[in-house]
A and B are shown apart, each in its own frame.
Chain A
Amino acid sequence: MRGSTIMWFARDINRIRRVFAGAGIALLTVMFGVHLAYAGKWLPLNKDGLHDRRSPGLELLQSPEAALGSLPTDTAGNKVDWSRAMDERLIKPRAALAGDKTVQVLDLNIIMSDTAGHPNVLFPHKVHTQWLDCANCHESLFKSKTGATPVSMGSILRGEHCGVCHGAVAFPLTECRRCHTLPHDS
């Protein structure tokens, strides 16, 4: 009696497993399809989860694909290489509301070497000052004196220091090696 119950249970559990495995594979296929359909593309505004589809102004707004589709591609963030887009003058963002403001570009690299075994960080002022004024970072986020501001990945992940922009509007914190570029012995 007991033996046959175990046999029945064993047979049944196998059947359940088969059903679950079948359903799992079907689900996986569907999910993968959905993922492929959206991966690497910009969603239209009415599918981004933020815009209200009933909003009457929605159809008048530019779609991300129309604006970003022709710019140099990247793998993270907006999937646009913004610096290259500006360097190649594919976009010409104004430096001031009115008039021709002369932008103060500083070509000065800072090396941060207290990186706990990770490659050193090379911070290029140049690409940052092409977009930002000195006052955006100095003296509030960073002291001008090199090394005077205690920056850590902890503070960055909390959205301080580099994390004010990186992970929010500039390339995200998953891109470790875009900052940690210099081997320690270089």
Chain B
Amino acid sequence: MQATIHITKLRLLPVAMLLLVGSAAVRAEFGDIVLNNVSEQQGMRPVIFQHWFHRIRFQCRVCHNELKFEMRVGATQVTMDQISQGRFCGACHNGEIAWTVENCDLCHTGKPGLTTKIQGGHETKGPGIW
């Protein structure tokens, strides 16, 4: 009987392990993007682009139509030369709308070794799935 109870408790362990993995893994905000096509090759940290920050200020159409960012991570090859010429990020990051390209450390904030991809969870904690 006692052993049965203990075995029942042990069955909770995988659930607990899952909880821990969920808590300890990358907990980037939904829609966060790592851009590292060229950053680290050029000796800079990867760029972390945060959708939540930008969508408060601009509708999707501004970057994904007006500025011609593809809606696929890494599909648009962005270089510092283009940004300096006012293309892509440089359309805003020019000292008029947002900070200038001299502020390298404000965009290149990622951990070394991250690969170009979209981050953030696909999980939900709400009643939408019930």
Check if B61 sits within 8 Å of A136, measured CB to CB.
yes
Within the assembled complex, what's the spacing in Å between the Cα atoms of A136 and B110? 29
Write the chain B residue with the least CB distance to A46.
B109
Check if A175 sits within 8 Å of B124, measured CB to CB.
yes
Within the assembled complex, what's the spacing in Å between the Cα atoms of A117 and B92? 47
State whether A91 and B31 are in contact (beta carbons under 8 Å apart), knowing that A34-B20, A52-B111 are contacts in the complex: no
Closest chain-B Cβ to A28's Cβ sits at a distance in Å of: 4
Check if A131 sits within 8 Å of B109, measured CB to CB.
no
Q: Residues of B within 8 Å of A, CB-based: how many? A: 71
Check if B121 sits within 8 Å of A172, measured CB to CB.
yes
Residues of B within 8 A of A94 (CB): 57-59, 62
Within the assembled complex, what's the spacing in Å between the Cα atoms of A55 and B39? 14
Whether a CB of chain A sits under 8 angstroms from the CB of B80 is no
Residue in A42, A136, A174 whose beta carbon sits within 8 Å of that of B124 in the complex? A174
Q: Residues of A within 8 Å of B, CB-based: how many? A: 68
Residues of A within 8 A of B6 (CB): 17-18, 20-21
Residues of A within 8 A of B123 (CB): 76, 172, 174
Check if A49 sits within 8 Å of B28, measured CB to CB.
yes
Whether a CB of chain B sits under 8 angstroms from the CB of A106 is no
Closest chain-A Cβ to B113's Cβ sits at a distance in Å of: 10
Chain B residues numbered 65-82 whose CB sits less than 8 Å from any CB in chain A: 65-67, 71-72
Within the assembled complex, what's the spacing in Å between the Cα atoms of A101 and B52? 22
Write the chain A residue with the least CB distance to B129.
A174
Within the assembled complex, what's the spacing in Å between the Cα atoms of A9 and B3? 14
Within the assembled complex, what's the spacing in Å between the Cα atoms of A6 and B105? 66
Check if A164 sits within 8 Å of B71, measured CB to CB.
yes
Closest chain-A Cβ to B24's Cβ sits at a distance in Å of: 7
Check if A28 sits within 8 Å of B12, measured CB to CB.
yes
Residue from A43, A56, A77 whose CB has the most chain B CB atoms within 10 Å? A77
Check if B52 sits within 8 Å of A80, measured CB to CB.
yes
Check if B126 sits within 8 Å of A74, measured CB to CB.
yes
Closest chain-A Cβ to B22's Cβ sits at a distance in Å of: 7
Chain B interface residues toward A at CB < 8 A: 2-3, 5-7, 9-10, 12-13, 16-17, 19-20, 22-32, 34, 45, 48, 50-53, 55-62, 64-67, 71-72, 91-92, 97, 103-112, 114, 118-129
Chain A interface residues toward B at CB < 8 A: 14, 17-18, 20-21, 24-25, 27-28, 31-32, 34-35, 38-40, 42-43, 45, 47-52, 55-58, 60-62, 64, 67-68, 74-78, 80, 82, 91, 93-97, 103, 130-133, 135-136, 164-165, 167-169, 171-178
CB-CB nearest 6 A-B residue pairs:
A75-B126, A49-B26, A57-B105, A169-B31, A76-B124, A175-B128
